[in-house]
Amino acid sequence: MLHIETVGAGPDLVLIHGWAMHGGIFAPLTPLLAERFRVHLVDLPGHGFSRDDAGPVDARDWAARIAAATPPCALWAGWSMGGLVALQAALDHPRSVRGLVEIANSPRFVAAADWTHAMTPTVLEGFETGLERDYRATVDGFLALELIGSPHPQSMLRELKARVFERGEPSLRALVDGLRVLEATDLRARLADLAMPNLWIAGRRDRLIRAAAMRWASQQTAHGEFVGIDSGHAPFLSHPREVADAIVEFAGRVARA
């Protein structure tokens, strides 16, 4: 069963977490957004309170299911892998997505001969191998990588470690298959098809998703915008007010469009 928690009042905003996380990871950001929006916090299948959902691990399937379970014409915001799901929803279900916010996400996660703004495939392969050997240590290593470039990374890492398993451990299948989704997905060629306004919020010090990749992505669409924040891969943890303000201001422009 897909778990979606709703808080706040106002225009609808669907918020989707990243790999190995859950909706509670947005705790610093959620109350700021709930002042202006009715926020729908999704736990992706295999994660958090959706841990026992046995559906396929597939971005297109997840996008379709979330679109069917949330109000139409909403603003969608996704972080990291959640941004990939939100982007897929915007492309496949444009009537459900009035505006799109991508937080530390790019249309292709891994590097290729024609795409240098990404991590090498060996990084994801290392995480996949590590999951089989030492589940928690691998997730901890990924958390540490996410916070490189953030202010006060050690204290933030302790907070993130405390939160990541507070809704139970994500299923191993969801984690392994999720890495394969990240490795295989390439939506660069479809960016020009985005029909709605879209905002790309990047961490300038992000070591996983480079700000240059997100700036490039924003320039491939007719209605793209780019915002850089002086953070690592999780700007909503280190700079929640800046992220919230960027989303609120963007939503205002979407409403006037």
Identify the pLDDT of residue 155. Answer: 81
Please answer whether residues 103 and 235 qualify as being in contact, where contact means their C-beta atoms are separated by less than 8 angstroms. yes
Tell me if residue 15 falls in helix, strand or coil: strand
Q: In which band, very low, low, confident or very high, does the pLDDT at 245 lie, cut at 50, 70 and 90? A: very high
- Is 155 labeled as catalytic in the residue annotation? no
The single residue of 53, 106, 206, 238 carrying the catalytic annotation is 206
How big, in percent rounded to 5, are the helix, strand and coil portions of the chain?
A: 45, 20, 35
- Is 134 labeled as catalytic in the residue annotation? no
Indicate the pairing of strand 38-43 with strand 3-8: antiparallel
The 10s digit of each residue's pLDDT in 22-48 is 999 999 999 999 999 999 999 999 999
> So where are the chain's domains?
3-256
Q: Average per-residue pLDDT in the chain?
A: 94
Most confident of 87-91, 150-154, 204-208, 232-236: 87-91
Identify the pLDDT of residue 53. Answer: 94
Q: What angle do CA 78, 80, 82 make, to 5 degrees?
A: 40
Indicate the pairing of strand 97-103 with strand 198-203: parallel
- Which CATH code is given to the segment(s) 3-256? 3.40.50.1820
Report the predicted TM-score, pTM, of the whole model to 2 decimal places: 0.95
CA distances from 154 to 19, 160, 162 (A): 20, 10, 12
Tokens of 110: 């891994």
CA distance 151 to 251: 28
Identify the pLDDT of residue 229. Answer: 97
Residues forming beta bridges with residue 102, ordered by sequence position:
78, 200
The single residue of 3, 17, 47, 233 carrying the catalytic annotation is 233
CA distance 244 to 163: 20
The 10s digit of each residue's pLDDT in 115-173 is 998 988 888 888 888 988 888 888 888 888 888 877 777 888 887 888 888 998 899 99
The single residue of 50, 80, 150, 238 carrying the catalytic annotation is 80
Please answer whether residues 191 and 214 qualify as being in contact, where contact means their C-beta atoms are separated by less than 8 angstroms. no
Please answer whether residues 142 and 234 qualify as being in contact, where contact means their C-beta atoms are separated by less than 8 angstroms. no
- Is 206 labeled as catalytic in the residue annotation? yes
